[in-house]
Amino acid sequence: MTIPDTAMLLAAGLGKRMRPITDTIPKPLVKVAGKSLIDWAFDALDAAGVERVVVNVHYLADQMDSHLGLRQTPAITVSDERAELLDSAGGIIKALPLIGKDAFYILNADTFWIDGPRPNLVRLAEAWDASKMDILLMVARMDQATGYEGCGDFTVAGDGRLQRFGEGDASPYIYAGAAIVHPQLFEGKPVVRASLNRYFDEAISAGRLYGMPMQGHWLTVGTPEAIGEAEAAIARLGQETHG
C-alpha cells in the first residue's frame, strides 16, 4: 500500500448558500470550531502523510493566497482560476501539470470528517486498486453525517462497486468529499468547465467506480445555520471520544 503523495483540494467555488458570510470571505476560510474549513482538510492530508497539495482558487483569491501562505505543511501549490471558474473536473484538468503522473487524492474544501480508529485517507489508500478502479470514493452512511440535506448519492455492492442511488433503494451512501483517482482519467481532456459527476457516471458504466465506507463522522457545512450544527456535533464527538 502506497499513500498518494499529492492531493488536489477543490477550493474555488463561490459558496453562494453560505451568504452573507461569503460576501466578504471565501467559503474555505469559514471557521468551524475555531478552524477554517480548508485547514480541516489540510490537517487530514498532513496526518495521512500527503506531501504536496494543489489548491485551485477563484473567488476572493487574494484572501486564499494569504491564508495558504501561512501553512508550513503540506507543501502547497496554487492553481489560479481567477480568469474562469472551471468546476470540479475542469479545475483538476487545468491543474494536471502540477499534480504529476501518479494516483492522487481529491478533496472538497467545504466538507470534513472526524476520523474513526484509523485515518480514513490511509484506509482509502489501502482500498485503492488501479487495476479495477477508475475512481475510489469515500462514502458515508446517512447516520454518520451532520449537515447533509439530500437523500443519498450511491448504493454500495458487496464488492464495493457503486451505483447511483435510486428511489426505493436501501442503504443510501453519501459521497463524502474525498477520492483517489489516476490522472490518466483526465489526460487529453479540454480545459473547460466540467463536473466530476460526469466522470463518476462514466466509471459506473464501465464498472470501475468503487466506494470505501468511512469510519467516524462526516460534516458538511453548506449554510450559515449549519456551522452551529457542526460545532455541536464536534463537541459531542469529543465527549464520546474522551468520555
- What fold does the segment set 6-242 form as a domain? Spore Coat Polysaccharide Biosynthesis Protein SpsA; Chain A (3.90.550)
> By the 8 A CB rule, do 125 and 5 touch?
no
**Which residues touch 6 (CB under 8 Å, ≥6 apart)?**
50, 51, 52, 53, 54, 99, 100, 102, 104, 105
172-193 pLDDT, tens per residue? 999 999 999 999 999 899 899 9
Q: Rounded to an integer, what distance in angstroms lies between the CA atom of residue 223 and that of residue 137? A: 24
pLDDT tens figures, 144-175: 999 898 888 999 998 999 999 876 666 799 99
Q: Where are the domains of the chain?
A: 6-242
- Cell numbers 494569504: residue: 66
CA quadruple 26, 27, 28, 32: dihedral sign: positive
Quote the pLDDT of residue 141.
94
4's enclosing H/E stretch is none
Q: Is the pTM of this model over 0.85?
A: yes
Q: In the predicted model, what is the mean pLDDT of residues 105-110?
A: 94
Helix H or strand E segment including 155: strand 154-156
